[in-house]
Structure 1
Amino acid sequence: MLRFRNLASGSTGNATVVEAQQPHSLRPTRLLVDCGLGIRQLQTRLAAAGLAIDDIDGIFITHEHSDHIGCVEKLVHRYDKPVWMSAGTRSALPRLDFGQAWCEARDNQPVTLGDIRFTPFTVPHDAREPLQLSCTDGVHKLGIATDLGMPTPHVMQHLQQCHALIIESNHDPALLAASSYPYFLQRRISGSHGHLANAVAAEMVAALMHDALALVVGAHLSQQNNRPDIARQHLEQAVAGLAHAPGVVVADPVSGTAWHDVTPLHASLAA
């Protein structure tokens, strides 16, 4: 069994819980992907998901930007949680003390945490050594790719054959151009090491389509330069006309999503 729940997705904070459990396991394994929230906010969002911080077994930090690290140091010290991040990300956070909790995450080197096996992969983003990841329980596969400027062949390779995808759908170019953001910031966001536009996210989904892809989640929407209906429209158009199209969900920047099972589409249809 593999499932996930996004707790928040946007420039004000990012966090996703990935949960896996094998039939013989007494309890699920839970990985927190990013924790860009305050400790009280995180506790509140976890409680809404039926969880507490003690239920989290490990943390994966994609990169050092503040909307992704949030309360990570407090989690490490108060709750004794291991935290995976790249050496580059660790070096970009010299003031944070992780003690013995830091575990180096490396491109294309799988990590096993209980019933979850996750594989980090490098992405183009304006951070020291940013990573995204795929997660599996051995049968089902979830791909996560937010905070990247373009879908490189390396990224696309790691997202092949996923049963669910969480894909950045950050901005609408027209809204970004009309925004109050200064030109240099607009260039950063739309650049090859910035964030994905809706249309590019849709192109990624179209290229990654296969018969068992059951769910696509548009994530990391800009609250200033995007709208949920625009992001959803692009993603739905990417799978329109397919005999068995995956479901499309857009993560709310503040409240995230509900729990979603990662199940092959044919199994979902049978159920």
Structure 2
Amino acid sequence: MRFAVLGSGSRGNATLIESRGSRVLVDCGFALREIERRLADIEVAAASIGAIVVTHEHSDHVTGVARLATRHGIEVWTSPGTWKGAGAPEVPGLRLFNGHGRGFGIGDLRFRPIPVPHDAREPCQFTVEGDGRRLGILTDTGCLTARIREHLRECDSLILETNHDPHLLRDGPYPPSVQRRIAGPFGHLSNQQAAEVLDAVNHRGLRRVLLSHISARNNRAELALEAVRGVDSGIDAAFLVAEQDRATGWLEV
């Protein structure tokens, strides 16, 4: 089982996951031509993707979903609230799942939704299992919950939001209302909150942590890395940083 983050940040998000020939794209916040280009960068044809799974309806996660699905005949899996919030566009194959349910399978991959606090209709993040491995995905989340802690405890790899540094956010260009939204319980995880998540779910089998959704204005990669490397429980995993403008390349879970 392996994955590649094709881009992460406020201008677009997409993650490709593969196991034994099954390929699933989580979110598509890029225009059609751009997502096809990024897929080509990791030598993947868009037509080979079996499904798109959508976490929530914000534009940096859904901009290209309908066009990519329609162009290549790809199924779309999402929660009812998310699809309604996205305007319920026509797609060739729509599959709705219960965000509080036990999960669903797409080929060799098993998805388990995690309801998260975020300012969207019915937002979910996921654990994804395949070939005996488990990947956790946690972005666009305002705070750590018991459900998140429970789901992410046994992951082999983790994609983890480190959106902002509180001091840079406070002193940055955003008006107070936007700052409150970002830092609030339905906003985005700060570096320190991400470290708390990591401390709560850390275990001996955690191999890789990919820091993601890093704000270009309110954070720096070195600050995010410093925060998570300082976790009290000690982390043996390798730390990597997802970028907005380029794909990570393939990473083993």
Return the TM-score normalized by structure 1. Answer: 0.90
Aligned to 2:244: 253
Aligned to 1:265: none
Tell me the secondary structure at the aligned position of residue 150 of structure 2. Answer: helix
CA contact (8 A) 2:62 2:86 kept: no
CA shift, 1:52, in A, is: 1.2
Structure 2 segments unaligned to the other structure (5+ residues): none
CA contact (8 A) 1:161 1:208 kept: yes
Aligned to 1:266: none
Aligned to 2:142: 149
Aligned to 1:54: 47
CA shift, 1:248, in A, is: 0.5
Deviation per residue, 1:54-85 (Å, 9 max, x gap):
12110001000000001111122211111011
| CA distance in structure 1 between the aligned counterparts of 2:249 and 2:200, rounded to whole angstroms | 26
| CA distance in structure 1 between the aligned counterparts of 2:192 and 2:228, rounded to whole angstroms | 8
Aligned to 1:6: 5
How many residue pairs were aligned? 252
CA contact (8 A) 1:214 1:246 kept: yes
Residue number among 118, 129, 134 corresponding to 1:136 in the alignment: 129
CA contact (8 A) 1:239 1:246 kept: no
Deviation per residue, 1:3-60 (Å, 9 max, x gap):
1000000000000001111xxxxxx101100000011110111011110101211000
| CA distance in structure 2 between the aligned counterparts of 1:184 and 1:194, rounded to whole angstroms | 12
CA shift, 1:241, in A, is: 4.7
Matched to 1:102, the amino acid is L
Aligned to 2:18: 19
CA contact (8 A) 2:212 2:242 kept: yes
| CA distance in structure 2 between the aligned counterparts of 1:240 and 1:122, rounded to whole angstroms | 26
CA shift, 1:95, in A, is: 5.4
Q: In percent, how many aligned pairs have the same letter? A: 40
| CA distance in structure 1 between the aligned counterparts of 2:233 and 2:246, rounded to whole angstroms | 27
Deviation per residue, 1:118-150 (Å, 9 max, x gap):
111210000000011110115100000100000
Matched to 1:92, the amino acid is G
Aligned to 1:267: none
CA contact (8 A) 2:52 2:69 kept: no
RMSD between superposed Cα atoms in Å:
1.3
Aligned to 1:184: 177
CA contact (8 A) 1:218 1:235 kept: no
| CA distance in structure 2 between the aligned counterparts of 1:138 and 1:110, rounded to whole angstroms | 17
| CA distance in structure 2 between the aligned counterparts of 1:162 and 1:95, rounded to whole angstroms | 33
| CA distance in structure 1 between the aligned counterparts of 2:205 and 2:96, rounded to whole angstroms | 32
**1:214 aligned to 2:207?**
yes
**1:102 aligned to 2:101?**
no
CA contact (8 A) 2:199 2:232 kept: yes
Which 4+ runs in 1 deviate beyond 3 A?
239-242
Structure 1 segments unaligned to the other structure (5+ residues): 22-27, 263-271
CA contact (8 A) 1:168 1:201 kept: yes
